[in-house]
C-alpha cells in the first residue's frame, strides 16, 4: 500500500450503536499513525497518535488500535451519540520524512438521534 486508505467512506448509524472504521497505511518505514476528528465548519482535532505495534488508546467512548506489521488501525466508537457526527481522518508518518503526514480521505460518520 503506497497511500493511506480509509473505509468505509461514509457511515450512518443510530444513536447508541457502536461502530468502527479502518485505516490502512504503508507498513514499511513506519513511524507513527494519527487519528483526527473533523467536525463540519471546524478544523481537525487530534484524537490519538500511536507509534508501537499493538498500541491501544482510549479517549472516552472512542478507542483505537494499531497493527504496524500488517499496516492497519481501527477506530472504535462505543454507543455513538449525535455529537460524534464528524469526519474521522487518519494519517501515517514515515521515518525520516520530516514528519510529513500522509492523509487518508476520511470516514464520514453520521449518527441519527
Partner 1 sequence: NAGVTQTPKFRVLKTGQSMTLLCAQDMNHEYMYWYRQDPGMGLRLIHYSVGEGTTAKGEVPDGYNVSRLKKQNFLLGLESAAPSQTSVYFCASAGGEKLFFGSGTQLSVL
Find the shortest distance in angstroms from Cβ 76 to partner 1. 19
Q: Does 59 bind partner 1 (CB under 8 A)?
A: no
**7 and 21 Cβ atoms separated by less than 8 Å:** yes
x/- string (CB under 8 A) for partner 1, residues 12-41?
A: --------------------x-x-x-----
Q: For partner 1, which is the closer residue by CB, 11 or 37? A: 37
Tell me the window of 21-29, 64-72, 76-84, 103-111 that interacts with partner 1 (CB under 8 A): 103-111
Q: Is the peptide bond before 8 cis (omega within 30 degrees of 0)?
A: yes
Find the shortest distance in angstroms from Cβ 43 to partner 1. 4
The SS3 call for residue 83 is: helix
The strands making up 19-24's β-sheet, listed across from edge to edge, are: 5-7, 19-24, 72-77, 62-67, 56-59
Amino acid at each position: 500500500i503506497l497511500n493511506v486508505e480509509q473505509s468505509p467512506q461514509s457511515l450512518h448509524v443510530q444513536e447508541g450503536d457502536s461502530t468502527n472504521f479502518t485505516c490502512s497505511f504503508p507498513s514499511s518505514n513506519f513511524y507513527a499513525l494519527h487519528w483526527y476528528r473533523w467536525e463540519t465548519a471546524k478544523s481537525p482535532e487530534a484524537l490519538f497518535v500511536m507509534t508501537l505495534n499493538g498500541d491501544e488508546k482510549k479517549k472516552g467512548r472512542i478507542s483505537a488500535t494499531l497493527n504496524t506489521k500488517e499496516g492497519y488501525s481501527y477506530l472504535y466508537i462505543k454507543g455513538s451519540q449525535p455529537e460524534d457526527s464528524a469526519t474521522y481522518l487518519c494519517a501515517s508518518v514515515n521515518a525520516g520524512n520530516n514528519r510529513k503526514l500522509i492523509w487518508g480521505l476520511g470516514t464520514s460518520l453520521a449518527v441519527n438521534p
